Amino acid sequence: MTRFALTLEFDGTPFMGLQRQAHGPSVQQSVEEAVLAVTGEVATMHAAGRTDSGVHALGMVCHVDIEKEMTEFRLMEALNARLRPAPVAVTDCKSRPDDWHARFSCVGRRYVYRIRNRRAPLTLDKNRAWHVARPLDEMAMHRAAQALVGRHDFTTFRSAHCQAESPVKTLDRLAVRREADTVLVEAAARSFLHHQVRSMVGTLALVGMGQWREEQVGEALAKRDRAALGLNAPPEGLYFVEALYPAE
């Protein structure tokens, strides 16, 4: 039995989320069906994180255990051949020790949220970015975001359906910058609450549009009340970028 770590890139648009769902297709289902087709084995995919319906990934790490003897390259090529035409690709494949776990060995996760800030409707970026037509002040958004960095009770920015035992998380980085008409919000932490990144981005967008004062973000955090949330950004702008692991 070999444990293989797979790095996945996927377009979340047609999926109900990363994890298997009874009511629709998922990334996990696509990968597990590809493994079955390649090896004849029923394997369970374990991932570094969870993504909702419509959320994308550039570097989601997961693992599967396979009995059949295969090289890393051969498994990656075979899975990619079987995954077509689903918008999922294995971009890297490495064997790992039996005690390595895609989720529990992970020590950091990075997300980026893309906002296309222009009047014209989206074409190539439809379903791949949040379209905000009103001008955004990305510098005000960045300043306001710093109130959220550090260890806090993030109840205000937590989904009502979040299953985490505690709302307390340590946010290592939250930065906002602009590239032409695209505003990028980058977030890094060991782990996140359900909807935390989207909730933070939506509230920062209100600051960028001038509907909230910069100080209101910290005030909303201090209230520890979901009702104090300004706005939950839509899923299509969110990308899981990277899962970090201790040096091996």
Residues 197-216: pLDDT tens digits? 999 999 999 999 999 999 99
**Pairing outcome for strands 46-47 and 88-96:** unpaired
CA atoms of 29 and 143, how far apart (whole Å): 41
Neighbours of 74 (CB within 10 A): 12
Q: Contact 242/92 with Cβ under 8 angstroms?
A: no
Cβ neighbors of 193 (< 8 A, separation 6 or more) are 154, 157, 158, 159, 162, 164, 167, 169
Spans of the chain below 50 pLDDT: none
Residues 143-159: pLDDT tens digits? 999 999 999 999 999 98
Residue in 240, 125, 232 with CA at minimum distance from that of residue 183: 125
Q: According to the model, what pLDDT value does residue 141 have? A: 98
Helices (H), the chain: 27-39, 72-83, 138-145, 196-208, 215-223
Domain ranges in the chain are 2-96, 108-244
Tell me whether domains 2-96 and 108-244 share a fold.
Answer: yes
Q: Exactly one of 11, 52, 98, 225 is catalytic; which is it?
A: 52
Model's pTM, two decimal places?
0.95
Class of domain 108-244: alpha beta
Token digits of residue 130: 């949040």
Q: Does domain 2-96 have CATH number 3.30.70.580?
A: yes
Residues 89-100: pLDDT tens digits? 999 999 999 999
Q: Contact 145/176 with Cβ under 8 angstroms?
A: yes
Residue 52 annotated as catalytic: yes
Q: According to the model, what pLDDT value does residue 247 have? A: 80
